[in-house]
Structure 1
Amino acid sequence: MRRLIQRGLMFGNLIEVASPVLVERYNRALQHLTGKTTALEDFHIDISGFSPEIGDELGDPFYLNHSGVNRQFILLTTEQRTAPLLNAQFSTSRGILQQFIEANEAQLFALTARDAVAGELLNSVYGMSDPSALLDIRLIEVEADSTSGTVRDSVELGTMIDRFKLQDDAWFDDVLIAQMIGLAKKTGDVTRNPVKLRDMSFKQDSFWTAHFGGIYLFRDVPHPAAITVGRIEDKLMDYQFELSQANEIAVFLELNGLAEPIVKAPGIDAATILQRKMEFIVAHVAAAQGEALERISAGRIRGLTRQYAAELPAEFKGLAALLRWATSGGAWPRISSDHPAYFYTLRASEGPYADLVNMLLAELAPLDVLQLFICHKDAFYSAYAGWPEPFKDYVARFLEQSYQSDKAATREALFGHEATVPLPPEQEELIELVGPWGALKR
């Protein structure tokens, strides 16, 4: 993983904590949440305040995420909202933290100017002894306060102020007045500068979890289903498929309108995207044959394609047929759902499930290394560990040069949605009749 770390592709965009003041605040919050502290004088943290260096020091990469549920967090700065979430156990956790920080930015800015904020993403599950526990996760609530209890004290002081104003004899209540003065010394003037974090909760109907080898739950779509990366004995939903059941997953995506063919998606350069997917496959095959891939150009890729034509897998051949149709009027490719190239030809449809579907599609098309890196970091790092060394080097250089330079533009080019431009009637009729590439076996 050294190549990835050096290029900022792993542990990138973390927030550096180097000042003694911030380290001391972090330790107060860490002690408050876990009873532990760090002896490190500088380290880096993600959006949740997790530090890989402290994880190594404590011998516990889940020191803020015990049992992988109810993730705790430490905020030292609102700038953490741009950082990644490491060791994510649920696909929704980073988005929840981002929304919480953005919705409370002014209050958090004031709180973190003097103290750390510690909190937790709460649900009704406290352990993952079996997969059925996932079904009990319905709502995530965010609970947070400064380590000195500023938010709690501000609420209490506000209640006291209301009581002081409304009670006729409050002027003579020396105990109440003393308590108000004592709290005001800690909170400041809450009448002019109220410190209150918004109560926030998030429905958790459809999500991915890393538990039990990886499970995708789609519970609030018209035709719900669970998709597991490997085999599990528990029956979670009426419709439950393994990642290897390509046809069933294809039908699920089509019935719910969750995916669309790349060549039908408006506003994108489908030919360039297909060509890039093919180049990744060629580079992987060539690297497995011992080819050095230090200097890759379009001409070099064409040469490797000719050289290893017999070894290229069905994924490449299916994409090549689709590219011929898209660019030079070749025959309409009949890529059915059991064809290895099928999921390489799709992307998520616009809607609330787009990120989750793109994550699933990335896992179903693992040689599209760009989509895998963007949409499913855990699956990318796992696959990367088993790739040939020349391919690792090729992928690391490609991502540094072609993705890191402008992440937003790359994401927009791949996954952005614009107003749909109708296809010619005869082509639309064909797609409606047989599905995107061929008839799906229902």
Structure 2
Amino acid sequence: MKRLIEKGLMFGNLIHVSSPALVERYNRALIHLTGKRTQLTDFHIDISGYSPEVGDELGDMLYLNQGGCNRQFILLSTAQKTAPLLNAKFSMSRSILRQFIEENEAQLFALTARDAVAGELLNSVYSVADPARLLDIRKIKIEADTTAGTVKDAEKLGKMVDRFMEEDDAWFDDVLIADMIGLAKRTGDVTRNPVRLKQMEFTQDNYWTAHFGGVYLFRSVPHPAVIAQDKTALRDIAMKHVFDFADRNQIAHFLELNRLAEPIVKARGIDAGAILRQKMDFIVVDVAQDRGIDLTGATRRDIRALARAHADALPAEFHGLQALVRWAEDEGEWPRIGSDHPAYFYTLRAADHPDADLVNMLLAELSPKDVRQLFICHKELFYRLYAGWSETKKSYVADFLEREYQADKAGARRALFGHDAPMAEPAPPPPPPAPKRDLLDQVGPWGAVRRAQPKKIKGPWGG
């Protein structure tokens, strides 16, 4: 992993904590949340205040996320909003923390000038040892304050000020006045500079979790489903449709029914041919690794030469994408790539909807040879797979990401996953058909998914 760290592809954008004052504030917050402290004099923290160096020192890589359920956080600076979230157990955690910081930036800037802000992402679940608990996670609240309780004291002082202004005999209440003065010494003038953090609540119906080998939960779509690495671990979960990655037909139909994905070649405003060719290059690199070929300094021309030299070893994914490129560039017929074809999920990207990031994450896991999408959309899986690659593939991929992605992250994301604004207002969706009792009502839109041989379902561009 050293190569990734040196190129800024791992632990990048972390906040360096080195001043004695910040280290002391961090320790106060750490003791407040966990009862522990660090002896380190400098370390790096992510958006939640988690430090891999501190985790290594304490022998606990989840010291701010016990049980992997309710993430605690330590804020030393609002600059943490741009940092990554390490050891993520839920896909929504980083976006919630970033939104909290941005919505309260002025207040947090003032609070962190004197103290650390410590808090927790709270939901009604304290353990996910049972898969059924995943369905209980719907709303997440943020609880936060300084280690000295400044926010709580400011709220209390504000109520005292209101009482002082409203009660006729408050001028003669020496105890009230003394309490106000004592609190004001800690909080400042709350009438001119209110110290208040917004009470924020986030509804999460669709998300990914690292628990149980990795689970994608979609509840707010017309046809809900759970998609997991291993659905046997979720046999008791109260969802009608539970798929694993072997259920390719069902997953493809799920994405199509809910309009969650679109073919790359039909997407607006992107160079579909270039994207597909790059995916083909990554597949060639995978073959080169298996054959022990040195990829040091390999260029696009070198990769194409390898593809010609080892055409007999190229997998079905390569040939499927090649046929699609020929069609996209008006040099071939429309290929029939069904959901059972190994190239199928390589040809898709998320459609324009609020859960696009989650769907792209799912597609990255379904097409793991596309290392660029894997790195952008599912870093946890990328790092895990990277550890098992040959040194030559590690070198090639790290150099490529540094050159093609790291130099312009926003531009690369926009080119791959951005959606152009429509030219006209979209037509309203058609009214739902009248309900009727038939086979679909009995077995669901994906068929009898528990059968050993599921019925093959036609994909978006052929069976």
TM-score norm. by structure 2 comes to: 0.91
Q: Is 1:225–1:240's contact at 8 Å kept on the other side of the alignment?
A: yes
Matching residue of 1:429 = none
Q: Following TM superposition, by how much is the alpha carbon of 1:434 offset from its aligned partner in structure 2, in angstroms?
A: 6.5
Q: Is 2:338–2:458's contact at 8 Å kept on the other side of the alignment?
A: no
Matching residue of 1:213 = 213
Matching residue of 2:146 = 146
Matching residue of 2:383 = 381
2:397 to 395, 412, 434: 395
Matching residue of 2:349 = 347
Q: Does 1:135 align with 2:135?
A: yes
Q: Does 1:436 align with 2:460?
A: yes
The secondary structure found in structure 2 opposite 1:48 is coil
Q: Is 1:131–1:236's contact at 8 Å kept on the other side of the alignment?
A: no
Matching residue of 1:303 = 305
Q: Following TM superposition, by how much is the alpha carbon of 1:153 offset from its aligned partner in structure 2, in angstroms?
A: 0.5
% of aligned pairs identical? 68
Trace 1:54-69 onto structure 2 (pairs within 5 A): 54-69=54-69
Matching residue of 2:181 = 181
1:275 to 257, 274, 277: 277
Trace 1:214-233 onto structure 2 (pairs within 5 A): 214-231=214-231, 232=233, 233=235
Structure 2 runs not aligned, ≥5 long? 425-456
The secondary structure found in structure 2 opposite 1:328 is coil
Q: Is 2:122–2:142's contact at 8 Å kept on the other side of the alignment?
A: yes
Q: Does 1:410 align with 2:412?
A: yes
How far, CA to CA, are the matches of 1:419 and 1:358 in structure 2?
19
Q: Is 2:262–2:350's contact at 8 Å kept on the other side of the alignment?
A: yes
Count of residue correspondences: 429
Deviates more, 1:376-385 or 1:98-107: 376-385
Q: Following TM superposition, by how much is the alpha carbon of 1:420 offset from its aligned partner in structure 2, in angstroms?
A: 4.7
Q: Following TM superposition, by how much is the alpha carbon of 1:386 offset from its aligned partner in structure 2, in angstroms?
A: 1.6
Matching residue of 1:430 = none
How far, CA to CA, are the matches of 2:300 and 2:56 in structure 1?
42
Q: Following TM superposition, by how much is the alpha carbon of 1:306 offset from its aligned partner in structure 2, in angstroms?
A: 1.1
Q: Following TM superposition, by how much is the alpha carbon of 1:303 offset from its aligned partner in structure 2, in angstroms?
A: 1.1
Trace 1:72-151 onto structure 2 (pairs within 5 A): 72-151=72-151
- Residue by residue over 1:134-153, the C-alpha shift from the partner in whole angstroms, topping out at 9 and shown as x without a partner, is 11111000110111111000
The secondary structure found in structure 2 opposite 1:41 is coil
Q: Following TM superposition, by how much is the alpha carbon of 1:437 offset from its aligned partner in structure 2, in angstroms?
A: 2.2
Q: Which AA in structure 1 matches 2:206?
A: S
Q: Which AA in structure 1 matches 2:460?
A: P
Matching residue of 2:254 = 252
Q: Is 1:67–1:127's contact at 8 Å kept on the other side of the alignment?
A: yes
Matching residue of 1:427 = none
Q: Which AA in structure 1 matches 2:176?
A: L
Deviates more, 1:159-168 or 1:291-300: 291-300
Structure 1 runs not aligned, ≥5 long? 423-432
Cα RMSD of the aligned pairs, angstroms, is 1.3
How far, CA to CA, are the matches of 1:93 and 1:337 in structure 2?
32
How far, CA to CA, are the matches of 1:199 and 1:128 in structure 2?
25
Deviates more, 1:42-51 or 1:222-231: 222-231
The secondary structure found in structure 2 opposite 1:196 is coil
- Residue by residue over 1:234-289, the C-alpha shift from the partner in whole angstroms, topping out at 9 and shown as x without a partner, is 23410110022111000000000000000000000000000000000001101211
Q: Is 1:226–1:236's contact at 8 Å kept on the other side of the alignment?
A: no
Matching residue of 1:240 = 242
Q: Is 2:139–2:202's contact at 8 Å kept on the other side of the alignment?
A: yes
Q: Which AA in structure 1 matches 2:350?
A: A
Q: Following TM superposition, by how much is the alpha carbon of 1:389 offset from its aligned partner in structure 2, in angstroms?
A: 1.8
- Residue by residue over 1:89-129, the C-alpha shift from the partner in whole angstroms, topping out at 9 and shown as x without a partner, is 00000000000000000000000001000000000001112
Matching residue of 2:319 = 317
How far, CA to CA, are the matches of 2:422 and 2:339 in structure 1?
24
Matching residue of 2:49 = 49
1:368 to 343, 367, 370: 370
The secondary structure found in structure 1 opposite 2:141 is strand
Q: Does 1:169 align with 2:169?
A: yes
Q: Is 1:115–1:146's contact at 8 Å kept on the other side of the alignment?
A: yes
Q: Which AA in structure 1 matches 2:405?
A: Y
Matching residue of 1:155 = 155
